[in-house]
Amino acid sequence: MKRHIIEVENLVKRFGDLVAVDDISFNVEEGEIFGFLGPNGAGKTTTINVLCTLFKPTSGRARLAGFDVVRQQNQVRRSIGLVFQDPSLDLRLNALQNLNFHAYVYGVPRAVRKKRIEEVLRMVELWDRRREEVRNFSGGMRRRLEIARGLLHYPKVLFLDEPTLGLDPQTRHHIWDYILHLRKRESITIFLTTHYMDEAGVADRIAIIDYGKIVALDTPDALKRMIGGDIITLKTENAEAAMAEIRHQFGIEAQKDSQGVFFEVPNGEEFIPLLVNNFKTDLHSISMRRPTLDDVFLKLTGREIREEAGGEAAMRRQWAMYQARDHRGRFG
């Protein structure tokens, strides 16, 4: 039995009438990567803000490394590192100065301060840029510096709130490499949130959160097994006829969306020949794919996360924000 490093019981957080976190309970095991997956506004950031002592819970309890997040704030803060969803660096300082500030407020002993700063900067490959003002860093470099900062005081738990939001796919990839690498090297627990379905797959366990409630919590594979097997998609002019025929021949209720008609079968490879041999309705194409977390989310909530649209819009917003901040920063 592994130790629970985060324990959350019946946690509720309200903002006026809005229930941002609606009575959730879960545990995170020491050393695991735990993912919070859900659309924008689901309550992921709010949960982190309660766990990191920035918000007081409306009701319920949460403990981190054995410390109560309301009554033992300082011990909790000492145990965690944070990469916030929104940027939180001092753009007017250089990388070293940002890390030095962090080392002081977290009480990293003088004897190891320099060594640790070098270690984390080398890890995120920013050592060569250490004396450059953060203002001149790209979005990806800033994110890496924030990750380095979050690790500087050797926290037990590292929170990563949408660590790749607003970054281009290549940089996203790069950031995940660090995170997975980190996991191999340190005995650290990682709590991450994302609304990118593909990214959630790196977690050992995932909680799917929607409208402030946890609707499922399991390993990615187990979640995917909630889908009956493989997903078959048919493209056809006559969707209604195809759906009727599938119901009649195989006893399966198919659904339709803009992509075509789709349904789940236990074993796609074996199913396709059966379908091809007997199907009467005209088909343009048949495709099969393994279930993704997208499908799981759709099945659980009846909605899609729409990560592409959301992702790009969010990316543009974030970028615009960086630009605006840089611009104003010059007069700050």
Binding site for ligand ADP (CB under 6 A): 15, 18, 20, 38, 40-46
Give me the least distance between CB of 223 and Mg ion, in Å please: 21
Task: Report the distance separating Cα 283 and Cα 235, nearest Å.
Answer: 6
Q: CB under 5 to 8 A by kind: which of Mg ion, ligand ADP, other proteins, none does 41 bind?
A: ligand ADP
Q: Where are the alpha helices (DSSP H) in 186-235?
A: 197-200, 220-225
In the sheet with 80-83, reading across from the earlier edge strand, the strands are: 80-83, 157-161, 189-194, 33-37, 205-210, 213-218
Q: Which stretch binds Mg ion (CB under 5 A): 25-33, 43-51, 98-106, 249-257?
A: 43-51
- Amino acid sitting at position 127: W
The 3-state DSSP class for residue 192 equals strand
Give me the least distance between CB of 85 and Mg ion, in Å please: 5
Residues 6+ apart with CB under 8 A from 261: 233, 234, 236, 239, 242, 243, 246, 254, 255
Q: CB under 5 to 8 A by kind: which of Mg ion, ligand ADP, other proteins, none does 78 bind?
A: other proteins
Among 3, 18, 90, 247, binds other proteins (CB under 8 A): 90
Residue 63's Cα: distance from chain center in Å? 21
Of 11 and 254, the one with the shorter C-beta distance to other proteins is 11
Residue 304 backbone zone (phi > 0: left; psi -120 to 50: alpha; other: beta): beta
Closest-by-Cβ residue to Mg ion is 45
Task: Report the distance separating Cα 194 and Cα 189, nearest Å.
Answer: 16
Q: Give yes or no for residue 71 binding other proteins (CB under 8 A).
A: no
Q: From residue 140 to residue 179, what is the string marking binding to Mg ion with x (rule CB under 5 A)?
A: ----------------------------------------
Q: Which residues bind Mg ion (CB under 5 A)?
A: 44-45, 85
Binding site for other proteins (CB under 8 A): 52-56, 74-75, 77-78, 80, 82, 84, 86-93, 97, 100-102, 104-107, 149, 325, 329, 331-332
